[in-house]
Amino acid sequence: MHLEITDTRTITDENPKRTKMEFHNTPISLGSASANTIQLPDTDVPQYHAMILPQGDEGDEWVIQPAVMTVPIYVNDAELTAPVQLEDGDVVRITYFEIKFTLDLPPELALPEPGNLEELAKIKQYPLPSRADVRKGDDDIRLTQNKQNLLANFGLKLRQCHDFASLIEVTLDLLLPELAARTVWMGLRRANSGPLEQVDGRSAEGKYTGEPWMLEGLMYRCMNRYQYIRLPKTGQPDTQSVIAVPITCRRGALGLIIADTKRRTRVFDEADLDLVTFVARLVGSQLEAIIDDVSMQKQQSAASQLTFLREVQSRLDPKNVPLWKGIQIAAYAKPGKVSSGDIYDITRLPNGLTTILMGHITSDNTSRIALAMAEVRTAFRTATLHADPPHVQLQVFNWFLHSDKEPCTMSAIVIVLNPKTGMAEYCCAGDLGALIVDSEGVHRVLAAPDIPPVGTARAVEYSAKKEQIDNGETLAFFTWGASKAQNAAGEPLGKSRFVDAICDGFGQSASAALDDLLVDLSAYLKEGTPQEDITILFLHRDVAKV
């Protein structure tokens, strides 16, 4: 529903005072007080004069109800003495103010009338090629049995999406191969007006793409006129064919999907348009559920599980770290807002060597992550007593974590260090931060992201490597949650910047280097918002103190 408020005292001015407002199923108060939904700044108007209230199951009927009768209210020049249901085009008058009431028209009725010159001008502004296939939303759709099965599975995946990003990702993953498209682009918003809030486009090679051809015109056609468009031939030098459809729900058009093909390749046919149209309808249904917080119960359950996981995590983190002459140790940990899974431990072998574990566990089941943390911690402590080498420990972890029914993986590094000689034996798996910073700030990478994480496959042979840690060098272990931390502006820290900041602390004690790192990156690590756990561990070797 739309209201246009006009101050008739300014009607003859060059710029009359008019305000346009949009409302959806929410009460509206009118009066001279500033606390009203619509303030009418006139001393003759009572502070709280009237209410416009939504009625009906869908909130698509509106009733105006006077609160104070001292100043008359007119509806189409008839004085209001009791609640009256407003009709499209009604004009409410209070002293000098006129309020025009306009209902939202159904999409099939919201077409330009011959006298609507502004709408006709927009149609001319965004012309379509003469061979364009343009449909309405209520046209029949035909799908083969294979496409029906495909969309049934797609619907199940959509139900697991609880935010815009995952909704877009799942949709792009489906359409790119099914359409054999060059690119597929998608944008979403929460209201039936305003700009798109989140957009993403992807090519067949998996790369991000910019805005598609004729985006503004297709947005107008799809999201304002509710058109489903297929352009067999665009006439463009690099684009052969285009499909553009709106994503609709009871709120209106909340997004659109645009797909294209490369010049002199396949031409989209009617079956392709049918497929994208049905995909958009399924997306619209889940998008509505996300906006309405239908998934709130699942989110609350996930939040509860995350709280439990953090409790397990805090109990497993080492409280009393053993001391070695010539080795300085400093650690920093901060839980993620969305997910957790970091684990680290430091122990002493019976022969006095240092053993270190750093890992990040991932699973779709939060409870499984908590169980995996306990299993890995127990296995690591047991292996320490037996003086097992690093590669044997990773094989044990793999035995605990691998499961076809409930997948659980861990990026990890285990290192055994001789504090006196600086000789280290280590084994890595998955994507984890592990490097050595020398006394001049140059780093050597230990991590091996090309090796699959622990738990990926049943039979994996891990091999250990050796490295010399010289006097004045620092071992740095960290999970990549730190690089994904965002500052107040929502900008991520990034891997290269984070590594550069670690290297800037060369030659210092472990605690001094960590303090400087946290100060330099406080906008991200301390004050920012970590989506994932942040865990940082520094070991600095200073044999001068042996």
CATH topology of domain 117-291: Beta-Lactamase (3.30.450)
DSSP designation for 449: T
Structure tokens at 276: 């994208």
Confidence (pLDDT) at 106: 40
Closest CA to 393 of 405, 382, 404, 408: 382
Cβ atoms of residues 184 and 201 within 8 Å: yes
**Nearest to residue 546, comparing CAs of 420, 438, 424?**
420
CATH class assigned to 2-102: mainly beta
pLDDT of residue 545: 45
Q: What is the CATH number of domain 304-545?
A: 3.60.40.10
Cα–Cα distances in angstroms (integers) from residue 185 to residues 207, 215, 225, 433, in the given order: 12, 10, 19, 34
The two structure tokens encoding residue 84: 């009256």
Which DSSP string do the residues of 407-425 spell out, in sequence order?
--EEEEEEEEE-TTT-EEE
In angstroms, the CA 422 to CA 435 distance is: 15
Looking at the DSSP bridge assignments, the partners of residue 529 are 486
Residue spans of the domains in the chain: they are 2-102, 117-291, 304-545
Please give the pLDDT value at position 59: 61
Could you give the CA distance from residue 533 to residue 331 in angstroms, rounded to a whole number? 13
pTM value is 0.46
The mean pLDDT values, 10 residues at a time, for the chain of 546 residues are 88 85 84 91 91 76 90 92 90 93 55 55 74 81 90 92 91 95 94 90 87 91 91 88 94 94 90 94 92 58 55 61 81 82 87 90 88 90 88 92 90 92 93 91 86 89 92 91 86 90 90 90 82 89 67
Write down the pLDDT at residue 235: 82
Whole-number pLDDT of residue 546: 40
